Structure 1
Amino acid sequence: MERTSLNKPNHPPAGVLGIGLEAFLPPGAYAPEPRRARISLPVDRSRVAVNDAAQAGALANMFDSLRHRQDWTGPWYKRGITALKYVARSLCLAAQHERFLALIAADPVMRAYRRRDPRLLERHMHRYVNAHWHRRDRLTYLQQHYRFAKAHLPAGLYELVYATGHASLGSVTAKDGSLLTLCLRPPIYKGCEGELCLQLCDANEEPLYSIVFTVADEQPALMIGCLQGPSGENARDVVRELTRNLHGMRPKQLMLSLVYTFAQQYGIQRLVAISNDAHPLRRSGRPLFSDYDAFWEEQRGERIGGGWYALPGSLTHKSEAEVPSNHRAAFRRREALRREAEGLLADALAQPLPAFRKTDQEASRIAFPVYGRL
């Protein structure tokens, strides 16, 4: 017996129950033909292809971020748990995290930096810069800093700092004839206080003093997250000797002057510094040896909420006339050393393109938040 098919050309397609739509219409009524799928234009097909490629790229970047994670330590099951936590936290900010991974994947310098410090990929998932920040704030400022660094740091300096991990800016001669070297480095391994570290080192480039900061580029601001001297039993003796070699200038005062030089080089008029209670290590149980609040207040900083101190737009330095005559020779040597150190940093940052140049009126409209957003 010959088998027939309901889907022959002279038969309409069967309905859900094997009955055509015409069975439910009154006599003489017309059942329109089913609407055919629109044939996609080349533009539509290319858009779909781009979206598919973007999704494939996002997945590739995500899988790549799971590789070479030497920062995940312990037995295999602990590393597996850490990896699952990373994936879960990534999904909480999926689109923003994908953009950050894409930023890293597109830049050979950032790829080299990521291999050297894979914690970069999840810095925003842990305590970071300001304890009051939400993870979205942390990732926003992390992206902004590297967008600024790539766009404004000289290419050679950018590569030395983040791909190589060290840039020597030059040396000044201390009172005893020894050399003191300025260095720019990325944050320490698993660092949480900022993304650019400026250090005063000895002749062997061993750090003596460090100041760590992050640059926000949308509302230009420089955020200081750490100002740290030597540690250990003889830390006070080291600071005392270093102060003497700086002709009586406190090392942390020199470091703050250098940060102001950095900000002025790029026209950044707003500087903020972390307070004691908002420091990311304050609640980790690890001791902090510096009283940040006291030092920022000494520099005429004003507490503005959200864990920040707003620092003045410029530092004030004494004039020679304000110094007693018997101390003026030391004052001149101290000022000459400070200006020489600032010159080394300015020369390293020199570039033809101006950065954030805002008028005073525009700068006055930049408001700092009470709860962490800049």
Structure 2
Amino acid sequence: MWVLKHLEPSDAKKKLRLFLHTLQSPIGIQAWFVRLHDLCAHAHVKTVPFELASKPVHKFLNNKLRSAQRSSILASHYDILLDVFGQAAVHELLAGRDFLLSTFAGRSGCLYELRLERSTAWLRREGELTCRLLAADCRTTIAMVSFAVGSASPGGRVCLWIGGFQGCARQDAKAFTIQVTRDLLGLRPKDLLMHVVYTLKDNLGGTDVKATSNAGHVSSKAHRKKKWSADYDLYWTERGGAADGPYIFDLPVHQHLRTVEDVAPAKRRAWRARHALIHRIVDDIATFHPARTASQT
């Protein structure tokens, strides 16, 4: 197979295991290899990232998904990126470069950035794209959301699949996150990322938003004896999500946003300032296109 011959340098045992997995699910995996060959040809990629080629044979996005579904989501994900962002942008993503979605200031004047990148390292199991909220001055990651956009079956509905949220990794993460929330006029970092997710869903032609539950998270078995630092089930329920079995939540097609009439008069000034910030960020992302955005490291 072309893909197996053009994988990036990796352990021979890993390549053998990948080959054996293709025998266990030959139709789905081989169909993914064909699409991956086409992707690399369109994006002018000569060496196939091993972890990308092997994604359908591992837990990815959600525990409920079968190998054929993972293959279908990945294939349609890159078809969409090629169509919307273009060949050059996909080449940049596969090369490990990121894109600046938005830059904005908090109440204190501190600058923040939203960056879109291909999911790497341990995040690659949670998605194929990651949006990262950064404090620009210290380059500290405040929060991240990992996802993919695609159809779980050929010709099916295109969904944005959220595989996981990650928070700040600093020792004082809780205090730092509270400080950032106050600086962003009361806008929680996770809630900000959800505005990004919904805007990208529309940009990429998605119809629905599906999110992993606690049980559906790809690391749930590894952490089943530990307390989750983030309760996905609770968060999705708060956002109007409905459980579709134990593994997946269906989120509303559009976010429910309060109007100024829903806010107490004493808090309306702060509400207007917060929503002006949200609208600015959403406008940046709605008009984002890699061809008009310089990739920065």
Q: Is TM more than 0.5 here? A: yes
- In structure 1, list runs of 5 or more residues that go unmatched: 1-58, 70-78, 352-374
**SS in structure 2 at match of 1:169:** strand
Does residue 1:118 correspond to 2:58, yes or no?
A: no
One-letter identity of the residue aligned with 1:200: L
Q: Is the 8 A contact 2:187 2:274 kept in 1?
A: yes
Change (3 A) 1:151 1:267: closer
Change (3 A) 1:302 1:95: closer
Change (3 A) 1:284 1:238: same
Q: Deviations over 1:264-309 (max 9, x none)?
A: 2344331111100010011124864210000000011001126111
Does residue 1:130 correspond to 2:62, yes or no?
A: yes
RMSD, aligned α-carbons: 2.4
Q: Which runs of 4+ in 1 moved over 6 A?
A: none
1:211 is matched with 145
Question: Any residues of structure 2 matched to 1:75-154 within 5 Å, and which?
Answer: 79-106=11-38, 107=40, 112=45, 117-154=49-86
Q: Specify which of 284, 288, 297 is matched with residue 348 of structure 1.
A: 288
Compute the displacement of 1:61 (Å): 3.0
Q: Is the 8 A contact 2:43 2:87 kept in 1?
A: no
Q: Specify which of 186, 189, 193 is matched with residue 126 of structure 2.
A: 193
Change (3 A) 1:122 1:229: same
2:3 is matched with 61
Q: Specify which of 159, 184, 189 is matched with residue 251 of structure 1.
A: 189
Using the alignment, how far apart are the partners of 1:237 and 1:126 within structure 2? 36
The alignment's TM-score, normalised by the length of structure 1, stands at 0.69
Using the alignment, how far apart are the partners of 1:302 and 1:181 within structure 2? 31
Using the alignment, how far apart are the partners of 2:281 and 2:195 within structure 1? 9
Using the alignment, how far apart are the partners of 1:223 and 1:349 within structure 2? 21
Higher strand share: 2
Greater radius of gyration (CA): 1
| Larger displacement relative to structure 2 (126-135 or 239-248) | 126-135
Q: Is the 8 A contact 1:130 1:274 kept in 2?
A: yes
Using the alignment, how far apart are the partners of 1:112 and 1:209 within structure 2? 30
Q: Is the 8 A contact 1:132 1:306 kept in 2?
A: no
Change (3 A) 1:93 1:196: same
> Quick one: higher RCO (CA 8 Å, sep 6+), 1 or 2?
2
The alignment's TM-score, normalised by the length of structure 2, stands at 0.86
Using the alignment, how far apart are the partners of 1:114 and 1:279 within structure 2? 30
Does residue 1:327 correspond to 2:267, yes or no?
A: yes
Using the alignment, how far apart are the partners of 2:88 and 2:252 within structure 1? 31
Change (3 A) 1:282 1:121: same
Q: Is the 8 A contact 1:225 1:274 kept in 2?
A: yes
One-letter identity of the residue aligned with 1:195: E
Question: Any residues of structure 2 matched to 1:1-374 within 5 Å, and which?
Answer: 59-65=1-7, 67-69=8-10, 79-106=11-38, 107=40, 112=45, 117-190=49-122, 191-204=124-137, 205-217=139-151, 218-285=156-223, 288-305=228-245, 307-349=247-289
Q: Deviations over 1:164-221 (max 9, x none)?
A: 4211123011111011111100012251011111121111554211111111243111
One-letter identity of the residue aligned with 1:203: A
Change (3 A) 1:265 1:84: closer
Using the alignment, how far apart are the partners of 2:241 and 2:141 within structure 1? 27
Using the alignment, how far apart are the partners of 1:144 and 1:350 within structure 2? 19
In the comparison of the two structures, how many residue pairs are matched?
282
Using the alignment, how far apart are the partners of 1:200 and 1:325 within structure 2? 31
Using the alignment, how far apart are the partners of 1:158 and 1:319 within structure 2? 38
- In structure 2, list runs of 5 or more residues that go unmatched: 292-297
Using the alignment, how far apart are the partners of 1:305 and 1:113 within structure 2? 41
Change (3 A) 1:179 1:156: farther
**SS in structure 1 at match of 2:121:** coil
1:36 is matched with none
One-letter identity of the residue aligned with 1:133: L
Q: Deviations over 1:7-56 (max 9, x none)?
A: xxxxxxxxxxxxxxxxxxxxxxxxxxxxxxxxxxxxxxxxxxxxxxxxxx
- Identical residues among aligned pairs (%): 22
Using the alignment, how far apart are the partners of 1:269 and 1:87 within structure 2? 35
Q: Is the 8 A contact 1:187 1:197 kept in 2?
A: yes
Compute the displacement of 1:94 (Å): 3.2
Using the alignment, how far apart are the partners of 2:6 and 2:180 within structure 1? 45
